[in-house]
Chain A
Amino acid sequence: MIISVVRTILLYIFVILAIRLMGKRQLSDMQTSELVITMIIADIASIPMQNNSQPILSGIVPILILIAAEITISILMMKIPMLRNAVCGKPEIIIENGTLRQDILRKLRLTTEDLGVLLRQAGVFNIQDVQYCIIETNGNISILQKPEKRQPSMEDLKLPSRDTGIEAVIISDGELLTTSMNLCGIDEQWLRKTLKKEKLSPDEIMMMTCNKLKEYSIIRKCQK
């Protein structure tokens, strides 16, 4: 049994490494080929994990080949649009100017209920509000609402805008995050001074966020 434990740890490390070598992508953002390869890698790795009589190399070699194939295909897809279309498919416009394209709906084997779910998840409750709805190659949808239904921007309203920069977490569970502090352009001296003003020490803080304008918010730790 100890052999299984060691083999599982080795293969786990190898699979994590393999997935990392293929590039950072969330499961939901994966293209078809990436999803298939991830599933195959998981499947291949599980066999030598369960079966001690199978050499571990018989799991490692196919995974190495799959990594090489995946990277090669992704590089070729960048260079050859025809290959990209063949492997990933093309985005399809499913709603155009509020009109549902039923032929595309049938082609994608989507029901009106499926489309309704996707639209509602994107915050659209009326098909007439949609100027364009595109089914992307990874299965996600992109929606452009009609101009009269879009949320106005500060620019549309001709309001002065304020660049606050990114709101970064500078203290997490009592720990100072120097990278985030650099991102906000603040130093430890400013932080110490601010905490002194708030009569707090870092250990008492669960989360502190700050932006470029040095506007901050603090969440204290709960008393146990």
Chain B
Amino acid sequence: MKRILIAASCLIIALVLCVAEFLCVTETTERIILQTQAVVQEVSQGDTDSALEKAVELEASWEKSVATVDMLLYHDSVDHIEAEIKQLITLLKLGKTSESITTCVAINQQLRILREGEFLNLKNLI
């Protein structure tokens, strides 16, 4: 009975960690993707100030989640996204719109890869 309880406890802890990771990563990546899309929209409309404002919000939003995400994902990927967000702010401050859109696309792509890596599908399994 004791051994069954140990096995069940280990399984439950592992499953809880997996579900928590899935929820946290998908929620964070989706939120940041939406925020980067908002930045792209503002830049496309030529409103650089508003885009910069949104990028600063994006950075704050990322920093809020980074401690949790860092525990769940490869630190290199997390650090890379953080660096790209900082680069985006610098580019917007310099008024380099086309480069800032490219950076947003790169951030989006990395976040999508992270999110898709969490899905239980054949591609990820194999």
Name the prevailing secondary structure of the A interface residues.
helix
Interface residues of B in 1-31 (CB under 8 A from A): 3-4, 6-8, 10-11, 13-14, 17-18, 21
Q: Report the nearest A residue to B17, measured CB to CB.
A: A61
Q: Report the nearest B residue to A60, measured CB to CB.
A: B17
Q: Are A65 and B71 in contact (CB under 8 A)?
A: no
Tell me if B75 is interfacial: C-beta within 8 Å of chain A.
yes
Chain A residues near B72 (CB, 8 Å)?
55, 57
Tell me if A68 is interfacial: C-beta within 8 Å of chain B.
yes
Chain B residues near A60 (CB, 8 Å)?
17
A to B contact number (C-beta, < 8 Å)? 50
Chain A residues near B3 (CB, 8 Å)?
23, 71, 74-75
Q: Are B74 and A64 in contact (CB under 8 A)?
A: no
Q: Are B14 and A65 in contact (CB under 8 A)?
A: yes
Tell me if A21 is interfacial: C-beta within 8 Å of chain B.
yes
A67 to B18 alpha-carbon distance, docked (Å):
16
Binding site for A on B (CB under 8 A): 3-4, 6-8, 10-11, 13-14, 17-18, 21, 70-76
Binding site for B on A (CB under 8 A): 21, 23, 52-57, 60-61, 64-65, 67-68, 71-72, 74-75
